[in-house]
Amino acid sequence: MEFGEIVSVLLGGAVVTLKIVAMALPLAAIMAFIFGIARLYGGFPIKQLAIFYIEFFRGTSALIQLYWMYFVLPLFGLSIDAMTAGVIALGLNIGAYGTEVVRGAIQSLPKGQYEAAVALNFTPTQRLWRIMLPQALVNMIPPFGNLAIELVKATSLVSLITIADLTFKAKSLADMTLQVGEIFGVVLVLYFVMAQVLSLFFRLLEKKLSKGLGRGGIQ
């Protein structure tokens, strides 16, 4: 098989991988903020729910979570297509790690920020949304960038539930052509490029947010 043909097929798989990332990453961010804030400020039942979510998805295999979504839930009458199962499983998994990013960033703020907001008679909600979160968000960006890269790499798991992502295409081509070196060499490059693009995006985002808060740029 010609090298150009190999690259063309693998690029098609990379597009599917990027689609999964584009859907799972917002889900992960939403879950991270909801449960990170819930763990900090929720009542006892809410905190326990947040802790359960975090510990369950961090403490079990992402692959098994994926299998449960796609193979086990239909046994209980809830059938989910492969793409939806992949997005939900990866989003919930990465979101569980993101909750600790949110919690840690908020807790790292100087106590003076909180005390000043109290002195200004801000409500707890106002303190969170107008004072603490805007500042904590800058501290969240680098670890969120790392989690986004982990998500890109974790998408390779969806090949095991028949989604024709980059890894699925690579395995199929390798089985068909036996051109293992060329195929997986291209796959390495494609995953690396996707990771670098995400890394650059988050660095630029961090720089923009830092300037917005008057912190200056990043090195």
Encode pLDDT of 71-130 as tens digits.
999 999 888 999 999 999 999 999 999 999 998 888 887 777 777 777 777 777 777 787
**Residue 219 located in a structural domain:** no
Q: Report the amino acid identity of residue 86.
A: G
**Residue 93 located in a structural domain:** yes
What does R_g of the chain's alpha carbons equal in angstroms?
21
**Residue 217 located in a structural domain:** no
> Domain of 64: which CATH number?
1.10.3720.10
> DSSP 3-state helix, strand, coil percentages of the chain (rounded to 5)?
85, 0, 15
Task: Supply the pTM of this predicted model.
Answer: 0.86
| DSSP secondary structure letter of residue 42 | S
Determine the pLDDT at residue 215.
Answer: 53
Determine the pLDDT at residue 19.
Answer: 95
Q: How far apart are CA 92 and CA 99, in angstroms?
A: 10
Q: How far apart are CA 12 and CA 22, in angstroms?
A: 16
pLDDT at residue 158 greater than cutoff 80 = yes
Q: How far apart are CA 177 and CA 150, in angstroms?
A: 29
Determine the pLDDT at residue 219.
Answer: 41
Determine the pLDDT at residue 213.
Answer: 62
Query: How many distinct structural domains can be found in the chain?
Result: 1
Q: What is the largest CA-CA distance in the chain?
A: 71
**Residue 185 located in a structural domain:** yes
> Could you report the per-residue pLDDT of 40-75, keeping only the tens digit for each?
888 889 999 999 999 999 999 999 999 999 999 999
H and E: helices and strands count for the chain: 9, 0
Query: What domain range is 138 assigned to?
Result: 3-212
**Residue 81 located in a structural domain:** yes
